[in-house]
Amino acid sequence: MQQKEPKLCKKCKTNKPSIIIQKDPVCQECFIGYVEHMFKMSLRLKCNITQKNEKLLICFSGGQNSTALVKMTSDVVYSTCAHNKSKMFIQAHVLYINESFIMKEFIQEYQPQDYIPFLTNECKLPFQTIDIQSIYPDPYVLLQQLHNLSEFGSSREDFVRLIKLHIIYDYAIKNGFQNICFGQNGQRLAADLFSQLSKGRGLSLQSATKYNYSFVYPINQNKLQILHPLKDLLNKDILYYLRLKSNINFPNFILGQHLSHAVKNKPANGNIDHLLEQFIDKLQEGFPSTTFTVLSSADKITLKPLLQQNYCPLCLEIRDQVYNRLEVETLDNSNQQLINHLRNNTKYYNKICFTCNRMLQSARELEKFYNLQGFPPLIIQLADLIQ
């Protein structure tokens, strides 16, 4: 009787396979080699990091993707990759924005995590921690703003994300970093793309999904480059990579899942980001080409050049005009009285973009938002500068 040959790793043909990459069963070692190789190639060829001693700012949030990003970067900097040990002469600096101040307010059982051992002992990369509330003259204004924003549709998460982006850009500019690396893998980028679309942020399609995207920071006209070097990887790749490579424990508390506490169990009203993330994850499970198809379609979209290119001081994206009646209706419930009131009585109403307006809709104390009352001086400076 013919004996069935044991299945072997498609790459090394010697070890037992344990994960599928691009339809091929491979072993643990070959998997790590593949991930490390993809990361290096992505940095070099897709993100254009080719100069010697180029400085990278690595944004770390404590989540799985950015943890993998920090770990891979450390291996590249110190040539500790398992396989291809060729060194890349880059300087990497980690920026961690500590959100404990908000977490403690919204999550009773919250326990802060200590990331210092991971960053210093495991990855040996220089890092800086910035408390999210530290850019506010009065930190309690931030909490007040979050309470004033609607619990529905991810407004609070979007607001926190904008504040974090301002901190990141400001830190990069002040410390001479042109390249800012974010950790989203391809599957996350695909979900982000859908949530940007559903929130009306169509103009940021480019920045949302490209390997690299550069823009001019309005305060000093310096160029900043946003990089997504993990775009070629999927959730399962990141999880398996971390299982093999890192000892870090992941927090049970993800900010976005708690800011809308009261509505998260009602699917119809739940958080947009998480609904779309679950949707993409389910699609990906059943149809493995989902992420690739979504991202490559997004790459083909080109934006029609706009006559005026004014920026919104909150999100720093291009501020577009409202084009159709449906947009107006989704925006303000057609409350022309309220619009007129805000237009006449607040300083910045006309400078805020469509999507940020949507984020602010049904917020309490709208005048305070549109007068940027109590906002970080950095954002007020931007708003005064922008036409």
How far apart are CB 31 and Zn ion at their closest, in Å? 41
Q: Which 288-317 positions form the footprint of Zn ion (CB under 5 A)? A: 312, 314-315
How far apart are CB 300 and Zn ion at their closest, in Å? 25
Q: Which 34-53 positions form the footprint of Zn ion (CB under 5 A)? A: none
Region of 322 on the Ramachandran plot (φ > 0 left; ψ -120 to 50 alpha; else beta): beta
Binding window for Zn ion (CB under 5 A); candidates: 184-192, 203-211, 250-258, 345-353: 345-353
Please, which residues have CB within 8 angstroms of residue 217's CB and are 6 or more apart in sequence?
169, 173, 223, 224, 316
**Eight-state DSSP code of residue 46:** I
77 binds Zn ion (CB under 5 A): no
Q: Which 130-189 positions form the footprint of Zn ion (CB under 5 A)? A: none
Strand partners, 179: 56, 225
How far apart are CB 367 and Zn ion at their closest, in Å? 18
How far apart are CB 358 and Zn ion at their closest, in Å? 9
CB closer to Zn ion, 170 vs 237: 170
- The span from the CA of 58 to the CA of 247, in Å, is 20
- The span from the CA of 365 to the CA of 343, in Å, is 15
CB closer to Zn ion, 231 vs 319: 319
- The span from the CA of 174 to the CA of 146, in Å, is 27
Number of residues that bind Zn ion (CB under 5 A): 5
- The span from the CA of 382 to the CA of 222, in Å, is 14
CB closer to Zn ion, 97 vs 382: 382
CB closer to Zn ion, 227 vs 353: 353
How far apart are CB 153 and Zn ion at their closest, in Å? 16
How far apart are CB 272 and Zn ion at their closest, in Å? 16
Residue among 354, 88, 161 at smallest CA distance from 80: 88
Strand partners, 57: 93, 180
Q: Which 349-378 positions form the footprint of Zn ion (CB under 5 A)? A: 353, 356
Q: Which 210-269 positions form the footprint of Zn ion (CB under 5 A)? A: none
Contact by Cβ (8 Å): 71, 123:
yes
User: How many Cβ atoms are within 10 Å of 174's Cβ, its own excluded?
Assistant: 9
Residues found near Zn ion in the complex (CB under 5 A):
312, 314-315, 353, 356
